[in-house]
Structure 1
Amino acid sequence: MSSKASDVLTLFSITHLFLFIAAISLSSAACTEEDVKALLAFKNSFPPNTFPNSWGDNSTSCCFWDGVGCTHGRVTSLSFTSDEYTNDVLPVNLKGTLPPSVGDLSALTSISISSQADLVGSIPTTWSKLIKLKYFTIYNSSISGPVPLFLSHFKSLQQLEINYCKLTGTIPPSLGDLANLRSITLGENKLTGPIPSTLFSKLKNGLLANLDLSENELTGTIPKFFGSVAFKYVNLQDNKLTGDTSFLFGKSKSASQILLARNNLSFDLTKVEYPVKNLQFLDLSHNEICGSINEQITEVLDLRFFDVSYNKLCGKIPRGGNFNPTVPDYFTHNKCLCGKPLSPCK
C-alpha cells in the first residue's frame, strides 16, 4: 500500500473513531437528570439485584440501559418482562408495588410490564402526569384496584391493556372521551357493572377498534352503539351479559373475531349475516340463542372457527363454499339442529 493511501486510510479511521466517540458523548449528555433520577428511584423501589449492573452506571447514558428506549435523548419507553429476553425488553422479576417515580418520566409514550406475578397494589396516582402516553400495558400481574380515572386525560392514548390482573370496580365511561383510543383490553380481571355505551364514541373516523373485556363479571346488555363501531376484534366471553348482540354482525362488517361465549345472550340468529371478507373466528357457545343458522355463512371467505354449541338453535346446518364443518362438538346441545356433522335431518 502506498504511503498516500495509508495516510488516507488512517485519516478515515480516525474520523470515524472521532464520530463514534462524539455520538457516545452526545447520547450520554442527552439523558436528562430528571429522567436518570426517576429511573434510579424506580430501580431502588425493588429489592437489591433486581436490575442488572448497567442500571445506574454513570459512564453510560440511561438511554442504553436495558428496557429503556429514548427519542432525542428523552426516555420515551419502558419495557419489562419476566419472560425470556427479546428485543429491547428487560427480563426482570419485579416484587412489590409500582413505583410513583414513573410519573416523573415526562416524555414517556410507552410502558409495558408483563408477566410479573409478584407485582401488587394499585396503579399510582402520580402516573397521571404521563399525559404523552400512547401505549399502556400491564399484563399478567397481581395489580389490583380500579381502572384509573386519570386515563381519560391521556389524549394521545391509543392502546390500553391491563389484563390477567386483579382489577376491581367498574369500567370508567370517560374512556370514551379519548378520540385516539382504538384498543381496550381489560380481560381476565374482576370488573363488575355494565359496559359503558360511551366506549369508542369519539373514536376518529377510519380507525378500527379492538375490545377485550372477557373473563370478568360484567352485567347488563351490550351497548347498541357498538353496532356502529368498526370492530376488528371483540371478545366479551365469560361474563354475565344479557340481551341481543345481532347488531355486531353484518356482511360488510370489519370484524375478524367475535367471541361472545358463556354469557346469557338471547336473540334470533336466523337473519344474522356474517362479515364475508373478514370473519375468521366466531364463538357464540353457551348462551340462549334461538333460530337457525343463516345460509349466508357459506359465503364467508376465511372462516376458521365456528361454535354455536349449548344454545337453542334449530334447523339444518348449512354446507357449501368454505363452510363444511366436521366437528360435532361445535353444534351439539341445541334444541333441534341437524345435518352434518350432526345426525341427518328427519
Structure 2
Amino acid sequence: MKITITSILLSILLFLSILSPSLAAERCNPNDKKALLQIKQSFNNPYLLASWGNLSGQIPAAVGDLPYLQTLVFRKLSNITGTIPSAIAKLTHLTLVRLSWTNLTGPVPAFFAQLKSLTFLDLSFNDLTGSIPPELSQLTNLNAIHLDRNKLTGQIPEWIFTGNVPDIYLSHNKLTGPIPKSFGYYNYTTLDFSSNMLSGDLSFMFGSNKTVQIVDFSQNMFQFNLSNVVFPASLTSLDFSHNKIFGSLPVQLTALNFQYLNVSYNRLCGKIPTGGKLQSFDATSYSNNLCLCGAPLPAC
C-alpha cells in the first residue's frame, strides 16, 4: 500500500537518515523509494541528518515522481538555485507548497493552476521575476498566497484571486499600476502590498461589510481622498504610510480597536480625531503630512 507523504523533506530525512535499508523497504512503496533515492542522489547523497541544512543545487525533477505527496517544503536553503521544476505539476494531491528563502529564479510558474487542491502557496524570499500569472486565479481553494520579497513586475491581473483568499502577500516587489477592481468584491484577513510601485484609488477595498484585519499598502504611490472612506470594524492594523493620500482622517477611526496605525508621509490635512486608540500612537504615526494637527501632533 502506498504511504501518504506529508512533507518531502521530512519523508526523505526519516527514510534516508533514520530507517535501516531493510525497514525502509517494508515501510516505503517501491516507487516512492526509487524517487526518494533519486532526490538524495541529486543532492550529492547526504548521509547525516544535519547535512540537509546545506543542500545545494536545483530542485530535482524526481520530486514529481511522488504522486501522493501532500506537502512540499524547501525553506531557508540558500544554496537551492535554478527555476521551479515543471515536474511539480504532476503532484495533484499537494495542499501546501512552500519554496521560500532560497535562491530560486525564473518566473512564477503558471502550472501551479493545475494543483486544484492547493490551499497554501509560499514562494516568498526568492529571486523570481516576470509577472504574476493570471492562471493562479483558478486556485479556488487557496487560503494564503505569499509572493512577497521577489522581483516581480507588471500589473496585478484584473481577475486574479476571484475567490476569497484570506491572506495575500505581494510586498517588496516591483509591481505597478492600480489594484484591480475585482479585489473589492471579496473579503480578506491580511493584505500586504507594501513596497511596490502601485498607484490609484484604494477606497473600494474597504466598507462596513468587509472582514479585513491587517492592511499594509505602505511605500507605494496610491492617491485618493481618505475623508469619506468607511473602514470595517474588524480592522486592527492599517499602514498607509509613504503614499500620496489626501483629505482628512475619518472620525469613524476612533471606533476601531487599532493595534497598529501609520498614515505618515502623505498629504493629509485637518485635526486628528480625538478618541479611541488614535492618541495612543506617537507622532511618527502621523508625521510628514501636509497639514495634520492635534494630539499627538502639535495643536491646530
TM-score by length of 1: 0.77
1:230 is the counterpart of 2:187: yes
Q: Distance in 2 between matches of 1:148 and 1:126?
A: 11
CA contact (8 A) 1:175 1:198 kept: no
Is the aligned partner of 1:264 residue 2:229? Answer: no
**Residue 274 of structure 2 is aligned with which of 310, 316, 319?**
319
2:136 paired residue number: 175
Q: Which runs of 5+ in 1 are unaligned?
A: 1-24, 53-81, 83-89
Q: Deviations over 1:224-269 (max 9, x none)?
A: 1111111100000000001001111123311111000000100000
The CA deviation string for residues 168-218 of structure 1, in whole angstroms up to 9 with x for no partner, is 0110101101211231110000000000122221x2xxx552110000000
CA-CA distance at 1:51 after TM superposition: 4.7
Q: Check if 1:343 corresponds to 2:289.
A: no
Aligned length: 279
| Cα distance change, pair 188–114 in 1 and its aligned pair in 2 (3 A) | same
State the match for 2:285 in structure 1.
330
In the aligned structure 2, how far is the partner of 1:281 from the partner of 1:138?
A: 27
Deviation at 1:322, TM superposition (A): 3.3
CA contact (8 A) 2:198 2:220 kept: yes
CA contact 2:110–2:133 (8 Å) conserved in 1: yes
Q: CA deviation at 1:141?
A: 0.8
Distance (Å, rounded) in 1 between the aligned partners of 2:114 and 2:290: 49
Indicate the residue corresponding to 1:15 in structure 2.
none
Counterpart in the other structure of 1:191: 152
Letter in 2 for 1:165: N
Deviation at 1:30, TM superposition (A): 4.3
Point out the structure with max Rg over C-alpha.
1
Kept in 2, the 8 Å contact 1:106–1:132? The answer is: yes
Counterparts of 2:123 and 2:180, CA distance in 1: 22
Q: Which has the higher strand share?
A: 1
Residues 311-341 of structure 1 show CA distances to partners (whole Å, capped at 9, x for unaligned) of: 0000111121233233111111111000011
Residue 248 of structure 2: aligned partner: 292
* Residues 83 and 106, structure 2, Cα contact 8 Å, conserved in 1: yes
2:1 maps to 1:40: no
In the alignment, what sits opposite 1:158? 119
> Distance in 2 between the 1:103 and 1:42 partners?
10
Instruction: Report what 2:204 is aligned to.
Output: 247
Pick closer, same or farther for the CA change 1:27–1:49 going to 2, 3 Å. closer
CA–CA separation in structure 2 for the residues paired with 1:319 and 1:140: 43
Residue 47 of structure 1 deviates from its aligned partner by 3.0
Shift in Å, 1:272:
1.1
| Partners of 2:165 and 2:106 in 1: CA distance | 29
Alignment of 1:73-222 (within 5 A): 92-201=53-162, 203=163, 207=164, 209-222=166-179
